[in-house]
Structure 1
Amino acid sequence: MRILMVGAGAVGGYFGGRLLEKGEDVTFFVRPRREQQLREGGLVIRSIHGNFQTPVCTLTPGGEAEAFDLAVLAVKAYHLDRILEDVRPYIGSETMVLPLLNGLTHLDKLDEAFSPDQVLGGLCFIETTLTAQGEIEQYSDRHDLMFGERDGSVSDRIRRLEKTLNGARMNAVRSDNILMEMWKKYLFISTFSGITSLMNSAIGPILETEYGSGITRRLLDEIAACARHREPSLNDTLVDGVFKVVSSLAPQMKSSMLRDIEKGSPVEADHLHGELLRMAGDREDLPLLRTVYTFLKTYEANRLKETKAAL
């Protein structure tokens, strides 16, 4: 299977690297600056699951290549619109499109850009970051990639994809209810990224404070209330399970959003927390979620001012 890994950052670089390590045919779709980094030093993974370094095959926008069998979208949501136009020439009518973005609203864009039948459901759980030197650092036990047909079927192509992903040094899991898994991830990542970014802390110190656990649960409940306007089946048992996952995280874990803030990088405020607020409109009391969103939008505004001042 010819695989186009769209993005060679913390997520795409990690999972694409693990597939290369297994021996799969992987090409990384990247910008020229990242291509230069990869040419000079190769793809470098430093992980508790084992280090790996290798030269890679890259493709930049406008480059010549035939359509791929699988395109894995591993980019931030704020890059998606531009990426869709650039990657279109390499997506054929039979290409599977596997998005690993947070949230769910990107599915509408992908369905519009390609045939809805091509677009799978997917998500990942991994704590990883890209260093200034272009190396990928991966910190925690979880390095999970979940995928499936959105209608829950076990198709021939999903079996082929499962065979391709299995055996790589990662936890690849096929789900027969991938949309519900994506909703659970949405609740989790919005809560985890929101509380750690707002408090500027790894999760452990937050939960250890007198009110930290209760505030985190309140944020999750507000997020779930918003999400139910789009998916009413998100019941209390499911939300309890999400909170259990948040509460059991390693104390030192930080969200990728907090790591982006620490580096002065863009964040997915509108794609995650902003979209939840749009789902609810004015129909819910959401003081914590609105506080998180306001904090993130203030960060974005200050970052923009600093960027303009530096020019």
Structure 2
Amino acid sequence: MKILVVGAGAIGGYFGGRLLEKGQDVTFLVREGRKQALEKTGLQIESINGNAKLVPRLITINDSGETFDLILLSTKSYHLAQAIEDIRPFVNNETTILPLLNGIAHLDQLIEAFGEDAVIGGLCFIETTLDDQGKILQKSPSHQLIYGERSGERTPRIEKVRDVFNGANASFELSTQITQEMWHKYLFITTLSGITSLMESPIGPIMELDTGRHTVESFLEELAAIMRKMGAPIQETITTDLANKISSLPYNMKSSMQRDLEKSLPLEADHLQGYLLQHANGMAVPILETIYTKLRIYEKNN
């Protein structure tokens, strides 16, 4: 399969790099500045799971003329509209699009742009960043990418994707319940990002206080109630499961949203917390309203 990875940043660069390392036909769609930098340094991965220095094939939006079988999309939600326009020239009627964004709202945007059949489900669990030289740094064991047909079917195309992913030095996992898994991660990441950003604290000090733990548990229940009202296929025990998962996180763990807030960077508040608030429709969700208000005030001031 011809694979196009949109961007060569911390997530796309890592998983695309692992596929390239395996010997797959991978091309990276990048900005001109990143292209020039990578042409000098190569795509470098420094990871607890194994280092790699690769020579990637690079194109920019000015290099249209070919299409791809599979497109990996891991942009931030506030860059999605532009990313959709950037990849249009590289999409044909058989192209499969695998988004790795947090949340759910991006699915509707991608389906509207490319059609119901083009978009499969996906998510990832990985802590990774770029250093000042553009090297990809990945320091924790987890490097998991989960994907599957949103219908749960084992279609011929998803089996082809599985064959391409198998054997790469990362945990590529085919799921027949990808839609449920995306909603579960949405609940997890929206809670963790919202609480740590509101409290301006890593998760450990929050969870060691009875009031902090109660706030996390109540927030999970608020969000789950909205999701159930929306018809989301979440498990009955998911709020308890995620409360336990959050309790087991490293003491100094910060969400990426909290880190972005500390650096005065853009946030995904509308895509995560805001999307659910829009669907609350009169439900009592005081914690969600408080968190969203804080994030919106931050965005107005930055």
Aligned partner of 2:108 in structure 1 is 108
Change (3 A) 1:232 1:60: closer
Aligned partner of 2:289 in structure 1 is 290
Which secondary structure does the structure 1 equivalent of 2:173 belong to?
Answer: strand
Which secondary structure does the structure 1 equivalent of 2:82 belong to?
Answer: helix
Cα distance in 1, alignment partners of residues 206 and 133 from structure 2? 30
Instruction: Extract structure 1 runs of 4+ deviating beyond 6 A.
Output: none
Judge which range, 248-257 or 16-25, deviates more: 248-257
Judge which range, 67-76 or 241-250, deviates more: 241-250
Change (3 A) 1:232 1:70: closer
* Contact 1:127–1:256 (CA under 8 A) maintained in structure 2: no
Aligned partner of 1:51 in structure 2 is 51
Query: Aligned-pair distance for 1:63?
Result: 1.0
* Unpaired stretches in structure 1, ≥5 consecutive residues: 304-311
Aligned partner of 2:40 in structure 1 is 40
Amino acid at match of 2:190: S
Which secondary structure does the structure 2 equivalent of 1:168 belong to?
Answer: coil
Cα distance in 2, alignment partners of residues 174 and 155 from structure 1? 11
Change (3 A) 1:43 1:163: same
Amino acid at match of 1:176: T
| Structural mapping, 1:221-260, within 5 Å | 221-231=221-231, 233-260=233-260
Query: Aligned-pair distance for 1:146?
Result: 0.6
Cα distance in 2, alignment partners of residues 15 and 187 from structure 1? 24
Aligned partner of 1:301 in structure 2 is 300
| Structural mapping, 1:107-146, within 5 Å | 107-146=107-146
Judge which range, 144-153 or 56-65, deviates more: 56-65
Q: Say if 2:174 is the partner of 1:174.
A: yes
Aligned partner of 2:195 in structure 1 is 195
Cα distance in 2, alignment partners of residues 291 and 10 from structure 1? 31
Aligned partner of 1:309 in structure 2 is none
Cα distance in 2, alignment partners of residues 89 and 142 from structure 1? 34
* Contact 2:27–2:56 (CA under 8 A) maintained in structure 1: yes
* Contact 2:29–2:58 (CA under 8 A) maintained in structure 1: yes
Cα distance in 2, alignment partners of residues 202 and 45 from structure 1? 27
Aligned partner of 2:8 in structure 1 is 8
* Contact 1:68–1:95 (CA under 8 A) maintained in structure 2: yes
Which secondary structure does the structure 2 equivalent of 1:138 belong to?
Answer: strand
* Contact 1:129–1:256 (CA under 8 A) maintained in structure 2: no
| Structural mapping, 1:38-117, within 5 Å | 38-117=38-117
* Contact 1:5–1:73 (CA under 8 A) maintained in structure 2: yes
1:97-150 Cα offsets, whole Å, 9 max, x none, are 101111111111111111211110111111222334322222322211111111
Which secondary structure does the structure 2 equivalent of 1:250 belong to?
Answer: coil
Q: How many pairs were matched up?
A: 302
Cα distance in 2, alignment partners of residues 276 and 28 from structure 1? 33
Judge which range, 123-132 or 103-112, deviates more: 123-132
- Identity value in percent: 51
TM-score w.r.t. the length of structure 1 is 0.92
Cα distance in 1, alignment partners of residues 67 and 107 from structure 2? 21
